[in-house]
Amino acid sequence: DLIVDQTIEKVSFCAPDRNFDRAFSYICRDGTTRRWICHCFMAVKDTGERLSHAVGCAFAACLERKQKREKECGVTATFDASRTTFTREGSFRVTTATEQAEREEVMRQMPDAK
């Protein structure tokens, strides 16, 4: 069963508990309130160290994929502090070969129009 629905890319710290062998926690930023929250868990079958390592690896993989996707797609996000909102520019949607050809055709015709 799902305990917490957390966007892994917002996790900033993950570690096993030094007092309890089966415990681990992570700190993340809440997407709505922008507050830092610490989530603590007690493992049922495994050690906190193993689970902490798994979450840390998931975070690293997610961050790497996100950075690669942003680099390839040209998607950027800006934060407006006065309105506390993010604005995304660009799209992660993959264009089809037909759409790409149409875009290239339009770009070729633009210098001719000037």
The domain segmentation of the chain, as residue ranges, is: 6-71, 74-107
The yes-or-no verdict on residue 49 having pLDDT over 80 is yes
**Across 5-28, average pLDDT:** 83
Separate counts of helices (H) and strands (E) for the chain = 2, 5
CATH level 3 topology of 6-71: PH-domain like (2.30.29)
**In the numeric block, which tokens belong to residue 21?**
């062998």
CA distance from start to end of the chain:
60
- The residues, ordered by sequence, that sit 6+ positions from 46 with a Cβ below 8 Å of its Cβ are 22
Is-above-0.85 flag for pTM?
Answer: no
**Across 68-84, average pLDDT:** 75
